[in-house]
Structure formats: structure tokens, C-alpha cells
């Protein structure tokens, strides 16, 4: 009996120690398990935060551009008023970081148009009816849902070639004969005016729409040179019908026997009563009427406005936004041909009275302001 009691005590102690160790291990296991659950929970929270912040890089980029846009001072905007065209919504197309700033330029151009269109003081210079004359200027590519408004003397021949290829009339730009480009019975380019009213409205609302502009006065110089000096496409009516009509009404020196001069041309365009001659000249006036009269930018919401001066950047951007950059390329642009030439402008306007230049500017002021071209004070003052 004396020997069994200590043995039983020892056994009991051993069992208690085993139970304590077992409990201690289980306690550590529970602590470890709780710690694991805590880590998993924190990871899930962090993961959710990361997902919310970065799941849509395009939306982030668009938001960033939108914020930048609101900081740009706008002409004619009322304090605290913000208006953004529907076309400014993100397209969903991914751009590299190096090109993030590029779309902002085109967004600013559209916003400037919206601001000027709302300026009541410029209403007569910025608004026009979407008439048959305007619809005749807009060429249609149904296959790729594109509308292009023609603004002559701004590189439009090349854009028409692009659309001709897209419409399938010719396999490549190089294969299009020059005499076909402007022959609307052969070039396969339907005009928007050829559709019914319902079809016109549908295309205006849903198609990608664009046109190109350049400095208004430099465009007039180009039109004068092309139609009255060089006349490259054998269009005799400009020299033999239109030029004499302008000379008869606007030449001051009646003894002057030279052909039409740029001064005559400027006086005709700046005359507030020029329309009676315009009616006689018919559609030939498209080479020198305003962009407003040609394309109605306050009435039609264009997707992109390209500038002739930055055509090397604008042409690829337009093709990309229209979704056709993998199908066709804009023809090579000769170096320096699109650069604004102030010296040339000064030379052509040399000797023309300030009164006549101011009257010319008064007619084209809407174009200068709508498209962000600087007022030519060096000619006006």
C-alpha cells in the first residue's frame, strides 16, 4: 500500500501535465488560426481597395483629362458654367502614356466651339442652317460609319482619296486617277444630301464626323492662287466668268487691265452685299466661303476637328478614332507644307487698305474664334 500511493500520485501528475500541454498546444493552434484569418481578412480588404482604384485605367485617364479640361480658360463661358459635348465621353480606346495629353487637344477644340456657339454676340457669324448646301459638302462612308465635311484648300483631296478607298471604289490611294477624285459620278462618294431626311438624321447622330480647318486668311490665299493664278485642273470658268464678274464690281482703278488681283478678291469677300455675286457663281464659292457656311459646326456635333497646321499629328489621330487606321493611311505630307506662313500672308495683304482687311476679318471672325486662330492684328492695326 505504501508503494502504490506514490506511484498513483506520479501517474496523476503526469496526466495533468499531459492535459496542460495538450490544452496549451490547442491554445497556440487557435491563436495561430485566428492570426491566419486576420491576415486573410486584411488581404481581402486591401485587394478590394486596389481593385476599386485601378480596375479601369481608361476611366482614370478620361477622368484625368476631364479635370485638366475644366482648368482651361474658355472664351465666352459664363462663370461657374460647364458644358461638355457628348463626343468628349471616353471612347474606351487605350492610349499609351506618351499620348495621354494628345486627346486633350481635340477635346479643347470641341469645347471652344461649344463656347463660341453660345456667344450671342457672334451668333450671326457662327450659326447657319443645315441646308442642302451644307449636306452637299458632307461625304458618306456607310461601310465604316464616317461623315467627312469638305472644306476646300485644306488638304481635302487626300481625305477624299482615303474615303474612296474605304468605300471600295479603288484598292489603294496610289491607284486613284486624279481626274476621278473630284468626279462625283465616278469616285463612289455619296453626299449626305442624297439620303432621306430620316437617313440623314440617323447618320448625323450615330456616325463619326470630322473636318479640317486652317488659318482663314491663309486658306483664302490658297484659294486665290489655285483658282485664279495656277488653275491646275483646267477650270476655265474661274478666270473667264468669275474673275471678270469680281473685277467689274470691285476694281477701283477702271483703267487697270491686268487679270484679277488679290485686292479685288479681298474687296469682294469683305463686301456685306457679296451674296448677289455668290448666287451667280453657284457652288464654285465653296473654295472661299466660311467654315461655318460649309459645315455648320454649331448645328452638327462633330467628333474631331483637325487643323491643317498640325496635320501630321491630326491625320493619324482621326484615322485611329474612326477605327480605320489599320485599313488605310493618310498620304505622306511633304515637309513644311502645312506650317503657317506669316511672311506669305503679309506679302499678299501688302498694299490692301486697312478698311478692306477689317471688312474681310469681320466676315471671317466666326471662323477665327470657333477654331482658335489668332486675330491677325499685324494686318488690322
Q: Return the beta strands (E) in 31-156 as ranges.
A: 138-141, 146-149
The pLDDT value given to residue 223: 96
Please list the residues that pair with 208 across neighbouring strands. Answer: 146
Given this model, what pLDDT does residue 71 score? 32
Say if residues 252 and 355 touch (Cβ distance below 8 Å).
Answer: no
CA–CA dist 49, 60 (Å, integer): 15
Alpha-carbon distance of 164 to 363, in angstroms, equals 34
Average pLDDT of each block of 10 consecutive residues along the chain (381 residues)?
48 51 53 59 47 32 32 35 38 40 87 97 96 97 97 93 92 90 86 98 98 98 93 78 94 85 97 91 93 98 97 96 95 91 97 97 98 97 91
Q: Which CA distances in Å does 349 have to 233, 297, 367, 379? A: 26, 28, 19, 8
pLDDT at residue number 45:
45
Cα separation values, 107 from 18, 70, 90, 104, Å:
77, 11, 11, 5
pLDDT in the model for residue 347: 97
Q: What is the pLDDT of residue 232?
A: 59
208-213/304-307 β-pairing: parallel
Q: How far is CA 380 from the centre of its chain?
A: 30
Q: What one-character-per-residue DSSP string does 201-267 give?
A: HHHHHHSEEEEEE--HHHHHHHHHIIIIII-TT--HHIIIIIHHHHHHHH-S-TT--SS--HHHHHH
| pLDDT value of position 254 | 78
With DSSP H G I counted as helix, E B as strand and the rest as coil, what are the percentages for the chain, rounded to 5? Answer: 60, 5, 35
Contact 265, 217 (CB under 8 A): no
Amino acid at each position: 500500500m505504501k508503494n502504490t500511493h506514490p506511484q498513483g500520485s506520479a501517474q496523476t501528475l503526469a496526466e495533468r501535465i499531459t492535459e496542460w500541454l495538450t490544452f496549451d498546444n490547442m491554445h497556440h493552434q487557435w491563436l495561430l488560426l485566428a492570426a491566419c484569418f486576420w491576415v486573410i481578412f486584411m488581404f481581402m480588404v486591401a485587394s478590394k481597395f486596389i481593385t476599386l482604384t485601378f480596375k479601369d485605367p481608361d476611366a482614370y485617364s478620361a477622368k484625368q483629362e476631364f479635370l485638366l479640361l475644366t482648368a482651361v480658360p474658355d472664351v465666352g463661358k459664363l462663370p461657374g458654367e460647364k458644358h461638355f459635348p457628348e463626343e468628349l465621353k471616353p471612347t474606351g480606346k487605350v492610349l499609351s502614356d506618351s499620348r495621354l495629353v494628345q486627346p486633350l487637344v481635340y477635346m479643347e477644340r470641341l469645347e471652344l466651339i461649344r463656347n463660341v456657339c453660345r456667344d450671342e454676340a457672334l451668333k450671326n457669324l457662327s450659326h447657319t442652317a443645315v441646308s442642302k448646301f451644307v449636306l452637299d459638302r458632307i461625304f458618306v462612308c456607310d461601310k465604316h460609319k464616317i461623315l467627312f465635311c469638305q472644306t476646300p484648300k485644306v488638304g481635302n483631296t487626300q481625305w477624299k482619296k482615303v474615303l474612296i478607298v474605304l468605300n471600295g471604289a479603288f484598292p489603294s490611294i496610289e491607284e486613284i486617277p486624279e481626274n476621278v477624285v473630284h468626279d462625283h459620278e465616278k469616285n463612289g462618294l455619296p453626299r449626305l444630301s442624297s439620303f432621306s431626311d430620316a437617313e440623314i438624321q440617323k447618320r448625323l447622330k450615330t456616325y463619326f464626323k470630322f473636318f479640317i480647318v486652317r488659318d482663314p486668311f491663309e486658306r483664302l490665299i490658297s484659294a486665290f492662287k489655285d483658282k485664279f493664278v495656277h488653275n491646275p485642273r483646267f477650270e476655265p470658268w474661274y478666270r473667264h466668268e468669275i474673275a471678270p464678274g469680281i473685277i467689274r464690281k470691285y476694281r477701283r482703278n477702271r483703267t487697270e487691265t491686268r487679270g484679277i488681283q488679290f485686292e479685288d478678291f479681298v474687296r469682294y469677300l469683305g463686301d456685306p452685299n457679296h451674296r448677289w455675286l455668290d448666287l451667280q457663281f453657284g457652288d464654285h464659292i465653296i473654295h472661299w466661303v466660311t467654315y461655318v457656311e460649309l459645315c455648320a459646326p454649331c448645328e452638327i456635333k462633330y467628333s474631331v476637328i483637325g487643323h491643317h497646321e498640325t496635320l501630321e499629328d491630326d491625320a493619324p489621330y482621326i484615322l485611329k478614332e474612326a477605327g480605320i487606321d489599320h485599313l488605310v493611311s493618310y498620304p505622306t505630307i511633304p515637309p513644311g507644307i502645312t506650317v503657317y506662313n506669316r511672311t506669305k500672308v503679309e506679302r499678299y495683304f501688302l498694299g490692301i487698305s486697312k478698311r478692306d482687311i477689317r471688312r474681310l476679318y469681320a466676315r471671317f471672325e466666326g471662323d477665327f474664334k470657333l477654331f482658335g486662330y489668332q486675330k491677325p492684328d499685324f494686318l488690322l492695326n
